A and B are shown apart, each in its own frame.
Chain A
Amino acid sequence: MRAMDYRGPYRVRLEEKPMPTIEHPRDAVVRVTRSCICGSDLHLYHGLVPDTRVGQTFGHEFCGVVEEVGSAVENLKAGDHVLVPFNIACGQCHFCKQGLFGNCHESNPQATAVGGIYGYSHTAGGYDGGQAQYVRVPYADFGPEIIPDWMDPDDAVLLTDVVPTGYQAAEMAGIKRGDTICVFGAGPVGIMAARCAWLFGAGRVIVIDHLDYRLEFVKNYAPAEVYNFRELDDLVVFMKKTTDGLGADVCIDAVGNDASGNIWQTILGKKMKLEAGSAIALHWAINSVKKGGVVSIVGVYGPTGNLVPMGNVVNKGLTIRANQASVKRLLPRLIEHVKAGHIDPKAMITHRVPLEDISDAYHIFSKKLDGCIKPVLIPNAA
């Protein structure tokens, strides 16, 4: 089969690879029909995630048709079209029992801090991902969701990560009616967090980024007030001024360790790797939220340390809430939202790319070329 193949920072290509097989009674093999490149794949692509091995296939946002199931899988059969949450979760460990499906303790030998994630380095379990014609799906009797007949596969594939991650960012923020929400990052997750903030009763939604075309999109899609931080003298002072001197009730970090905006964070974190990427978005979030406010983090950071103003977290009495999205928990509600028209995930898709053009797709998304917001790969087998 053909699959994406990582060769080192900024280098990927298509390769012929062996077909995945059933390796565990609860496995399935899925023929991929849609697979996205996620903003967090770019952290791998940029060489920022430790234990990213040459030869691995990325891709944790995918849906597809079940080809084969293991002996313990009774709820799926060949031919079912399923969307597959990016978390690999057993559904029965200490953490899964509590609904923390992003923190499963039975899917990742290489680290205890995070559960298994498809195609996301060996730090997340060493699984090959879905940017391929076929993929192995562990715990297939628990994770995958059969796509409803009425649902567009383009919507379904975005329910595997982007939509639940944006939704959980807003959910973790503990939004109260009338709250002012500031979302850092107008990538797909930030866009969705801004959209979902309204579902929780926000009174005002502000989005900060430096890419005008993305700000223009989220301005209409969420909708939201948008500001380009490169056009502001001091972002934090601006945020105070625009909130009557208080700061936002909630700040959401939807950027993570690839953030632009501060030369020292860029040099230390992104160039020299002396911290786990650039944490300037989180820095701004902490300093822009009001005292007693909430900072909700869904941006991806590496496992080492980051320079953030912890003193201000203490002095301002902030609550920090963060996690990988617990996709399986959120899916029933999100499917209702899509059906009701509250969320239109596929509107974020700007590029549909054949798997053969994987190198160009990564480059376009990484360099933000051609107005790219969300690229979807269409494997030939689809």
Chain B
Amino acid sequence: MDAPTTTKATALDRSSIPGWGVDADPENDPTYPYRDRDKDDHSGKWARPPVQHSDVEILQSIEHKQRPAVFGTSTPPSGLSGMMRRGAFKYSESHWAHWLMLMGADRVNMVEGIVQDLARAKIPNIPAEMGMRSEWKHNRKGLVTKLAVTAAMGAAAFALFKWAGSRDRDGSNDRH
């Protein structure tokens, strides 16, 4: 006898199960009232909307049975970050690799954005993009303190490197 090559789930005859459904209580539903269970036909089929057509590259979760009918066409994947995003979508949403690769791609994309600006001869005004004007207006003391602390830490780091460099040079002389 040939062995079956696939195993297919078959529905049990529930009437043969003693006590099946005797305590079913439609009122006992923690999703009430925001889910209308009467409309749940337990099927993955419905009358689908017309499907959107686009030339834009759309990455798709491998958990989807089919591409959703409508999607956004903003900022398609590109460059190194795009390659990373394509790699991420080889994994399901359940994999950390999927999300960590996307987060990594986001950071790469940030650098790509600056490079794109410079390539268009546009120097990004990063303080303005970060809203520093409002910080100056509403939290001047905090901003000045932050700048002073940053400057002091920078000066200290510079002095430390300079001191370490001079010690290295002195040490080199000793070894000779």
Q: Shortest CB–CB separation between residue B101 and chain A, in angstroms?
A: 9
Among A9, A53, A105: residue with most chain B CB under 10 A: A53
Contact across chains for B40 and A98 when beta carbons are under 8 A apart: yes
Question: Which of B43, B61, B89, B129 makes the CB contact (< 8 A) with A12?
Answer: B129
Nearest-CB residue, chain A, relative to B54: A23
Q: Shortest CB–CB separation between residue A153 and chain B, in angstroms?
A: 25
Q: Does A106 sit at the interface, judged by CB under 8 A?
A: yes
Q: Shortest CB–CB separation between residue A213 and chain B, in angstroms?
A: 13
A54-62, A232-240, A248-256, A336-344: which lies at the B interface?
A: A54-62
Q: Does A260 sit at the interface, judged by CB under 8 A?
A: no
Known: A12-B129, A13-B129. A126 touches B34 (CB 8 A): no
Q: Mark A273-311 against chain B: 1 for CB-CB distance below 8 A, else 0.
A: 100000000000000000000000000001110000000
By size class, the interface of chain B is 35 or more
Nearest-CB residue, chain A, relative to B44: A94
Q: Does B139 sit at the interface, judged by CB under 8 A?
A: yes
Which chain A residues border B69 with CB–CB below 8 Å?
24, 90, 106-107
By size class, the interface of chain A is 35 or more
Contact across chains for B138 and A369 when beta carbons are under 8 A apart: yes
Q: Does A198 sit at the interface, judged by CB under 8 A?
A: no
Contact across chains for B124 and A109 when beta carbons are under 8 A apart: no
Known: A51-B102, A98-B37, A116-B71. A11 touches B130 (CB 8 A): yes
Contact across chains for A24 and B52 when beta carbons are under 8 A apart: yes
Which chain B residues border A13 with CB–CB below 8 Å?
124-125, 128-129
Which chain B residues border A54 with CB–CB below 8 Å?
75, 109-110, 112-113
Known: A107-B71, A171-B34. A50 touches B103 (CB 8 A): yes
| Bound complex: CA A12 to CA B113 (Å) | 12
Q: Does B19 sit at the interface, judged by CB under 8 A?
A: no
Which chain B residues border A370 with CB–CB below 8 Å?
134, 138
Contact across chains for B131 and A72 when beta carbons are under 8 A apart: no
Q: Does B175 sit at the interface, judged by CB under 8 A?
A: no
Contact across chains for A23 and B47 when beta carbons are under 8 A apart: no
Q: Shortest CB–CB separation between residue B127 and chain A, in angstroms?
A: 9
Question: Which of A50, A111, A329, A366 makes the CB contact (< 8 A) with B61?
Answer: A111
Which chain B residues border A72 with CB–CB below 8 Å?
50
Known: A303-B93, A304-B100. 12 other contacts (CB 8 A): A8-B110, A11-B110, A13-B128, A54-B112, A93-B46, A94-B43, A98-B36, A99-B35, A127-B74, A128-B74, A304-B96, A360-B133
Instruction: Name B's A-contacting residues (CB within 8 A).
Output: 30-31, 33-37, 39-41, 43-44, 46-50, 52, 54, 58-61, 63-64, 67-75, 77, 81, 85, 88-89, 93, 96, 99-100, 102-103, 105-107, 109-110, 112-113, 124-126, 128-135, 138-139
